[in-house]
Amino acid sequence: MASTLSFQGITSGLQTDSLIDAIIQQDGQPLQRLKDRQTLNTNRAAALKSMRTSMLSLSVGVASLSDALAAKTVSSTDANQSFVSATATGATNGTYQVKVASIATKGQVSIGVADPNAAILSSSSGSFAVQGTDGTVKAFTLTNNNLNGLRDAINASGAGVTATIVNTGSGATPYQLIVTANDTGTGTTGGTVRLAAIDNADGTPTTVDSSIAGLDGGALTGTFAAPTGLSGGLQSSGAGVAQDAVFSVNGVQMTRKTNVVKDAVDGVTFTLKKGDTTNDTTLTIAQDTGAATTALQSLISQYNSLLKTYKDASTPVNDGSGTITHQPLEGDSVARNMMSQLRSALTGGASGLPSSATYKSGANVGIKTNADGTLSLDATTFKNALENDPKAVARVFGMSGTSTAGGVQFSSGTSATATGDIGFNLTYGAGGAVSGSLTYQGTTYSGLTGTNGTLQGLAGTPLEGLVLGVTASGSGTLTVSRGIGQQLQDAISSLTSYSGVLQQTQASIDSQNKALTSRIDQQQALLDKRKTTLKAQFDAMESTLAQLRTASSGLTGLS
């Protein structure tokens, strides 16, 4: 086995390896500084990445708070929710008396046979038409000549119906093919579902429309016999005719084709379950203060977690014995400025709120700043504010707008949208066409147009990103405000975006580390060469000393 022998200092008595290491260590100090700088960069990048992760969690918390502020509780005098139930989001608090006279039903027809596998046509195939309450008529050819085949063909036809077979277990025709409309309510057919064989005496099915023989009750003719009970076609009758839901809210009677009613009261969805003209159900809509409080406390905890991440990475640690461990974000202006932006957004005031606003900042609704910079919530103050004026509290956190004209309402805005008073003069035309002008801080933007009852602010102006919902012509003032939650969301989006300061800083660090790697490799190569040279020099010295010693010994022997 090969081995490496060292004869360092064998003649001189010097520890030449140690001397070489000491020289290389001294010469390598610039290299070590480059490595330390690269390590600091790597640690800095990791710390900034942790801050970014915490910021994204904080952003999710803002969205959750927005949802929670719109959440409502619904209490009912119908303890078992037998007649009607309701859910609410963003609705105005209040009490609603609901009476359900009848619920919406589905139209249907049925055919009874003794054997679902027996042939129902004298021919092996035939054509049919089916129509649901949506008015759509579909024709299809029966290829599997029995009740099961008719069911499958109906379901594959694309008509607005569903066919099923049930076994009643009694009577001469226990197997019932039931064709039921997919939707509740009378639809466009007055609540009827129709099924009929089509006259195809000439070998080509008659064009399927509202006047085909059989579908409207005419006599069936053709080269095949009609299925049992299909003389003249089947049409819903009696209980098979669909009915619309009939109910009242606070004494106002309403009719709907569905039992899930979303347009009777803004923000409230009623689910009608059973009709009873003698029963009144009282539903009380109230703010869900518990959900909102929990969401805000969670948001505050997420902010405090981000603050801790920043402090841990920016505060040097003294172990008590005088040894100080420095952290990667000490004196880091990027991290410091980011925290400053986020803290200002969350602890400052909402932008654009009028002076008469009930609440204008987080402090007004119970958010407190502690001595160490963390935040906390006075839950009692917050709940009281919610109970006093929930819409005013929502404006403190979200982006909103109030209009002096009912036909012009704020829909949404972006981080580019200015806040404050915006004048409008809009005309609502046929088909939802919108035209007119918007005025902001003395500048009028005219010639604006929109469709489907929607108007947007011009890009590149202070009104960029503004979206208005228009249902009637009108003029007046729209006051747009950006709450602290929205300001926080905007700041996070800007900082963490692809073109944001975090991404730019990360790219800069990567570029620096790449350059440092190149310099480190160059320096290391020079040191390795230096070490090889020193080794050769010391080996030569030892060899020379050995020769001199030998020569000296020879001269001594001659004397």
What per-residue string of b and e applies to 495-504 under the rule 16 or more CB within 10 Å gives b?
Answer: bbeeebbbee
Average pLDDT over residues 11-19: 68
Do the Cβ atoms of 18 and 535 come closer than 8 Å? no
Mean pLDDT, the chain, whole residue set: 86
CATH 2.60.40 applies to domain 108-240 = yes
Among 376, 222, 373, CA closest to 296: 376
Residue 350 CB coordination number (10 Å):
25
Q: How far apart are CA 188 and CA 234, in angstroms?
A: 17
Half-sphere exposure of 16 (CA within 13 A, CB side): 21
pLDDT band at 204 (very low <50, low <70, confident <90, very high): very low
Coarse DSSP helix, strand, coil percentages of the chain, rounded to the nearest 5 percent: 35, 25, 35
DSSP symbols for 388-416:
H-HHHHHHHHSEEEEESSTTEEEEE--TT
3-state secondary structure of 173: coil
Beta-carbon contacts of 488 under 8 Å, excluding residues fewer than 6 positions away, are 58, 59, 62, 342, 345, 346
Q: What is the pLDDT of residues 426-442, one digit of tens each?
A: 999 999 999 999 999 99
- Burial-class residue 14 by CB neighbours within 10 Å (0-12, 13-18, 19+): middle
d(CA 414, CA 399): 9
**Rounded distance between C-alpha atoms, residue 239 and residue 102, angstroms:** 13
Say if residue 461's pLDDT is above 80. yes
Residue 213 has pLDDT above 60, yes or no: no
pLDDT of amino acid 484: 96
In sign, the C-alpha dihedral spanning 417, 422, 427, 430 is positive
Q: What is the mean pLDDT of residues 80-102?
A: 93
Note the pLDDT of residue 38. Answer: 87
The closest alpha carbon to 27, from 533, 396, 531, belongs to 531
| Nearest to 191, CA basis, from 200, 181, 203, 199 | 181
Lowest mean pLDDT among 149-153, 391-395, 470-474, 540-544: 540-544
pLDDT at 231: 42
Which pLDDT tens digit goes with each residue over 20-40?
Answer: 777 777 876 887 788 888 888
Whole-number pLDDT of residue 283: 96
Is the pLDDT at 209 greater than 60? The verdict is no
What Cα–Cα distance (Å) separates residue 303 from each residue in 58, 292, 374, 378, 415?
Answer: 6, 17, 8, 16, 21
Q: Spell 364-382 as b/e; 16+ CB within 10 A means b.
A: bbbbeeeeeebbebeeeeb
For the stretch 258-296, pLDDT in tens is 999 999 999 999 999 999 988 899 999 999 999 999 999
CA distance 31 to 518: 11
- Reply yes or no on whether the pLDDT at 379 is more than 90: yes
> For 260, what's the count of Cα atoms within 13 Å in the CB-facing half-sphere?
4
Write down the pLDDT at residue 525. 82
Average pLDDT (233-255) is 91
Percent of the chain with pLDDT over 90: 61
User: Residue 229: its pLDDT value, please?
Assistant: 41
Does residue 222 register a pLDDT over 60?
no
Chain mean position to CA 413: 17
Q: What is the pLDDT of residue 543?
A: 76
pLDDT at 207: 36
Residue 198: both structure tokens together? 């089509």
The pairing of strands 420-428 and 474-482 is antiparallel
Is residue 125 predicted with pLDDT exceeding 70? Answer: no
Question: What value does the mean pLDDT take over residues 230-238?
Answer: 68
The answer, yes or no, to whether residue 203 has pLDDT greater than 50, is: no
Above pLDDT 70, what percent of the chain?
A: 88
Residue 124: the pLDDT is: 59
Confidence at residue 557, expressed as pLDDT on a 0 to 100 scale = 58
Among the ranges given (53-57, 59-63, 199-203, 312-316), the one the predictor scored with the smallest mean pLDDT: 199-203
- Find, among 451, 458, 466, 460, the residue nearest to 409 by Cα: 466
Name the residue with higher pLDDT: 3 or 487. Answer: 487
Nearest to 120 by CA among 97, 157, 90, 150: 150
33 compared with 556, residue with greater pLDDT: 33
What is the C-alpha to C-alpha distance for residues 350 and 484, in angstroms, rounded to an integer? 5
Whether the predicted pLDDT of 97 surpasses 80: yes
Q: Quick one: pLDDT at residue 200?
A: 52
Terminal alpha carbon distance of the chain: 46
- How much is the pLDDT for 382? 96
pLDDT for the residue numbered 224: 37
What amino acid occupies position 228? T
Q: Is the pLDDT of residue 423 over 90?
A: yes
Task: Identify residue 467 by its one-letter amino acid code.
Answer: V
pLDDT score of 352 more than 60? yes
The predicted pLDDT at position 210 comes to: 35
Angstrom CA distances, 78 to 84, 253, 255, 276, 282, stand at 8, 20, 21, 12, 7
How large is the average pLDDT for residues 379-392?
Answer: 94
